[in-house]
């Protein structure tokens, strides 16, 4: 299967506010003319689209309904159907059939909200992200094939084999940027009025923001097979040059492994809470170990406890901030060009695990949809947490799940380090943590599937 190439990503945007008649072939065109999914169904006034986000930490299903102007229409009392479950598909690396079966309950929830007469015309997409990318081609393809078979045999929605695929990181980041700017009503405005997006998943982290045409012209060439740094998009009649890059191995769960891997001797325990010896979780096989993918790392705490400053030094080392391979004037980390900065990055929306950990650490209301914070808030929280042992951390942060308690110090340290040292955000710059975004009288999940659903809906 040809990997999605996003050079002409989201050509649907020509239609976002200029809704033209459907072509005979239907489908949303991506780079290279590849089509991912059929036209969304149109019953005369509404269209439905179903998108599965098969992430590394869990699977989620989104069902959207659009009117003729591509505005979201409520589904029941909510603006979308959103359901999720854990673990993700990559947790079933050795059992593809079980991986596919894990989506059944989500599929059933989606079918409940789409009218019976429209289900067989409603497109269903499955986009797997960093978790499956990390498994390698053979294993991920086995799981994808099992999912295709499931949709063919047990789903009432319209599906085709190539509508179930692994998203490349830049596609995921671009769809996320479209989602947030669409909901905020920014599309069609000058690039300086748009917001930048950082999406921290379990296996990868994406940065996307609009840059000037002048900065876009400075984008370094990339090696064959790699995603280009800049995507040219036409959204609501406005041309945008979108800087987007996905950092595989630097999502929150993957970064734990990178930090532990970067340790020398047993200094990994500077990031682990005292008393972490006897807790059992799905991420490690036995006591004091952390398992990610096929690798297992020492992760026990020491009697002296964690150290914020020493753990931060490990996080900086893992990010390769001073990577010698950086041949550009400005880099983020690991030798990656930073896009040049500018107005499109000054208003930053930060999603996924950033919001989750902030809420669990107590400096964001977990019931809020959006919150204004500063990177320094993560630093302050990390300093408090790293002083605790496992028992005290459990008592202090009851909203943190048992398997994540030992990693609360390393997670918060990493998030601060990623923002400040990795992406060069000022520690005291205001950023917006976002879980859901207000839309009309409801809220929309701040996730890439809406961008994907818009792409398929706009082609009809």
* pLDDT given at position 31: 32
Domain-embedded: residue 439: no
151/218 same-domain check: yes
163/285 same-domain check: no
Backbone angles phi, psi at 457, to 5 degrees: -70, -35
419/392 same-domain check: yes
339/296 same-domain check: yes
- Give DSSP secondary structure letters for 30-78: -GGG-B-S-PPP-SSS-EEEEEEEE-SS-EEEEEEEE-TTS-B--BTTB
State how many domains the chain has.
2
The answer, yes or no, to whether residue 177 has pLDDT greater than 80, is yes
The answer, yes or no, to whether residue 433 has pLDDT greater than 90, is yes
pLDDT tier, 23 (very low <50, low <70, confident <90, very high otherwise): very low
257/237 same-domain check: no
The answer, yes or no, to whether residue 386 has pLDDT greater than 80, is yes
377/449 same-domain check: no
CATH number at 182 reads 3.30.420.40
Domain-embedded: residue 435: no
* pLDDT given at position 422: 95
pTM of the prediction? 0.79
pLDDT tier, 37 (very low <50, low <70, confident <90, very high otherwise): very low
231/268 same-domain check: no
Q: Residue 65: count other Cβ atoms within 10 Å of its Cβ.
A: 26
Domain-embedded: residue 436: no
For a pLDDT cut of 90, what percent of the chain falls above it? 64
259/324 same-domain check: yes
Domain-embedded: residue 201: no
The domain in which residue 139 lies consists of: 1-191+206-245+444-460
The answer, yes or no, to whether residue 84 has pLDDT greater than 60, is yes
* pLDDT given at position 56: 84
Q: Which of 97-111, 114-128, 160-174, 193-207 has the lowest mean pLDDT?
A: 160-174
* pLDDT given at position 459: 62
Active site residue 172: yes
The answer, yes or no, to whether residue 257 has pLDDT greater than 70, is yes
Closest by Cα among 304, 211, 224, 237 to 266: 304
Domain-embedded: residue 434: no
324/221 same-domain check: no
The answer, yes or no, to whether residue 86 has pLDDT greater than 90, is yes
238/272 same-domain check: no
Selected catalytic residue, list 172, 258, 274, 360: 172
135/226 same-domain check: yes
Domain-embedded: residue 137: yes
373/459 same-domain check: no
pLDDT tier, 7 (very low <50, low <70, confident <90, very high otherwise): very low
Q: What is d(CA 330, CA 241) in angstroms, rounded to the nearest whole number?
A: 18
Domain-embedded: residue 197: no
Domain-embedded: residue 126: yes
């Amino acid at each position: 299967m040809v990997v999605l190439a996003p050079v002409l990503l989201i050509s649907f945007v020509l239609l976002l506010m200029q809704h033209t008649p459907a072509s005979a072939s239907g489908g949303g065109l991506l780079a290279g003319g590849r089509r991912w999914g059929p036209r969304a169904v149109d019953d005369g006034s509404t269209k439905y689209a179903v998108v599965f986000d098969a992430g590394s930490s869990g699977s989620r299903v989104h069902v959207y309904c659009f009117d003729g102007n591509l505005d979201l229409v409520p589904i029941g009392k909510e603006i979308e159907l959103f359901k999720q479950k854990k673990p993700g598909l990559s947790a079933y690396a050795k059992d593809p059939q079980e991986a596919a079966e894990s989506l059944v309950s989500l599929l059933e929830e989606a079918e409940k909200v789409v009218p019976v007469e429209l289900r067989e015309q409603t497109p269903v997409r499955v986009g797997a992200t960093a978790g499956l990318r990390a498994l390698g081609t053979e294993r991920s393809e086995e799981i994808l094939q099992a999912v295709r078979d499931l949709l063919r045999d047990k789903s009432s929605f319209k599906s085709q084999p190539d509508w179930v695929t692994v998203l490349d990181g830049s596609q995921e980041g671009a769809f996320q940027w479209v989602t947030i700017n669409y909901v905020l009503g920014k599309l069609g405005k000058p690039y300086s009025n748009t917001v930048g997006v950082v999406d921290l998943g379990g296996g990868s982290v994406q940065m996307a923001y609009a840059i000037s045409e002048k900065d876009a012209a400075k984008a370094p060439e990339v090696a064959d097979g790699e995603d280009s740094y800049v995507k040219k998009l036409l959204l609501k009649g406005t041309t945008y040059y979108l800087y987007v890059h996905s950092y595989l191995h630097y999502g929150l769960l993957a970064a734990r492994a990178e930090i532990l891997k970067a340790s020398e001797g047993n200094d990994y325990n500077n990031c682990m809470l005292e008393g972490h010896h006897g807790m059992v979780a799905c991420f490690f096989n036995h006591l004091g170990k952390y398992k990610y993918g096929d690798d297992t790392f020492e992760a026990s705490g020491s009697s002296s406890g964690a150290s914020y400053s020493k753990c931060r030094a490990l996080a900086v080392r893992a990010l390769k901030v001073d990577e010698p391979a950086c041949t550009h004037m400005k880099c983020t980390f690991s030798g990656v060009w930073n896009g040049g900065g500018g107005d499109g990055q000054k208003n930053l929306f930060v999603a996924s695990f950033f919001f989750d950990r902030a809420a669990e650490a107590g400096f964001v209301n977990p019931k809020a949809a959006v919150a204004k914070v500063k990177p320094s808030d993560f630093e302050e929280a990390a300093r408090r947490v790293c002083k605790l042992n496992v028992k005290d951390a459990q008592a202090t942060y009851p909203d943190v799940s048992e398997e994540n308690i030992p990693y609360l110090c390393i997670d918060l340290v990493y998030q601060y380090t990623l923002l400040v040292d990795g992406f060069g955000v000022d520690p005291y710059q205001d950023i917006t943590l976002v879980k859901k975004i207000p839309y009309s009288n409801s809220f929309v999940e701040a996730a890439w599937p809406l961008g994907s659903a818009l792409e398929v809906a706009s082609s009809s």
